Structure 1
Amino acid sequence: MTDTETELTDRARSAADYFRKERGFIAEPFEIMARADPDFLVSYTDFSMAPWRTGPLEPKVKELVYVAIDAAVNHMHEVGTLNHARSALAQGATREELVSVFEIVSLLGLQTLELGVTALERALGEEPGDDDWMERLARFDPAGAQSARAWYESVVASSPLEPKIIELIGVAVNASTCHLNEAATARHIRAALAAGATRAEIAEVFQLVSVLGIHSATLAFPLLEELAQ
């Protein structure tokens, strides 16, 4: 082994150890990342740990946010969902709270109805009003609007999570890198503030969610290593 190769191996080991120390675990894609570009992994570790070092949300809630964005229909990252669900349980989350997170993120599908009724109104030459979209949907499909509202309300009413946390999860999945729904994000921000969330807590949700882009690297680096074999 050359001196350069030895140095790279040492740096890779150091980067992987740093990630493990800061996060409490290390999955195989991050070990591969350490071998490919240790400086990148160290930099990402510092970035991803920023909300853990200074953010006001309790660790359990941080992990529930990760669970939400990984399980959401616009991402469906099975390994991430499992790892963060395990971490959430270790941080004190209950099975019922995890069930509630899965149910809350399932509501994201209702945005098809919201988008659809708006598009239908415009196709008919109407300008969408300020009314709740479910009320506007009821003009065209009363039964569908009623069932949508009933499902939404039942999910929220049965949740063991406090209203503030429910809304912060709504902020997370709508601000997700895979969704970026500005209107829905703003709607959940207003609801979170009304439920008692602070600006710092909402800002931390954005920090937590912004790490989602690393999944491009956790997908691609193992493929690159496979090609090199």
Structure 2
Amino acid sequence: MSELDAQRQALKDQIIAERGYWHPFHQGLLERDPDFLAAYLAFLSQPWRTGVLQPKVREFIYIAVDASVAHMYERGMRRHIEFALERGATPDEVLEVVELAAGLGGESAILGVRILAEELKAIRGEDVEAAALSEEQKRLKDEFIAVMGGWPDYGDAFLSLDADYLRSFLAFVGGPWKRGTLEPKIKDFVAIAVNSSPATLNPDGVRRHIRSALDHGATSTEIMEVIQLAAAIAIHTCTIGVPNLVEADAARTGIVG
């Protein structure tokens, strides 16, 4: 075995040991750009080497960002659900992570309402944010704050425009936040991950849930690890791209590998 072959085999062994699997994109990069493959391993493995979160919580982060409606990477979600269960998670915990991720996708409605309220005021002079709330709307607002821990920007506009929809929105988004399967800071970790992932990039959501996590006793080290884990889905560009390159090149040249 040549020195280069030995180095590649050592890198493959290290990836299998640290990541728990070997994927066709690993093989493609090992053959074509082992330096980039080594850089990938360092990027993804750093939080596992030095982090402080429980292994199952790390898997929760991967499940959430893979399951997020902005990403929906089924293969990764399935793999990390299996890993989470192997590392002591319960099915109820995993289900709550999935439900949290689904609800976070629903926050697009908050963004839409904010822009609608701004444009109604700018173009038609209608200030739906300033409309007086009925007693029923005030009770719904109080319920929202109790469940979600705060009131979104333009929440009053949301109430004025469609209180019934806000009620159904709260039932969908707020359900997993009301239950106690996961501790509060872990729920915030899931929300930080989904909002900060490359597929979502929602700074308002990141800030809101970092504040909430700190209020629930999270450390900066824990939150930094969550951010690092969420960023890992950047590699999915290679997960999809590299095998397709290998296949296309093989079809063109008749040479596999």
Fold-level match, TM-score > 0.5? yes
Deviation sequence 1:19-49 (CA, Å, 0-9, x none): 1122232223222221221121122112211
Q: TM-score, normalised by structure 1?
A: 0.91
Work out which of the residue numbers 178, 186, 204 in structure 1 matches 2:225.
204
Taking a change above 3 Å as real, the CA distance of residues 131 and 90 of structure 1, as seen in their structure-2 partners, is closer
C-alpha separation between the residues in 2 aligned to 1:120 and 1:47? 40
1:142 Cα offset (Å): 1.1
Q: Matches of residues 1-229 of structure 1 in structure 2 within 5 Å? A: 9-125=5-121, 126=127, 132=152, 133-229=154-250
- Native 8 Å contact 2:70 2:105 kept in 1: no
- Native 8 Å contact 2:103 2:174 kept in 1: no
Q: State the identity %.
A: 37
Give the letter aligned to residue 213 of structure 1: A
Structure 1 portions without partners, runs of 5+: none
1:219 Cα offset (Å): 0.9
C-alpha separation between the residues in 2 aligned to 1:182 and 1:62? 21
1:127 Cα offset (Å): 9.2
Q: TM-score, normalised by structure 2?
A: 0.81
- Native 8 Å contact 1:32 1:225 kept in 2: yes
Give the secondary structure class of the aligned counterpart of 1:141.
helix
- Native 8 Å contact 2:128 2:161 kept in 1: no
Deviation sequence 1:161-215 (CA, Å, 0-9, x none): 1111001100000000011110111011111111111111111111111111111
Give the secondary structure class of the aligned counterpart of 2:217.
coil
Structure 2 portions without partners, runs of 5+: 122-126, 131-149, 251-257
- Native 8 Å contact 2:96 2:182 kept in 1: yes
RMSD, aligned α-carbons? 2.1
- The total of aligned residue pairs comes to 225
> Structure 1 stretch 120-129 or stretch 9-18: which is displaced more?
120-129
Rg comparison, structure with higher value: 2
C-alpha separation between the residues in 1 aligned to 2:28 and 2:46? 23
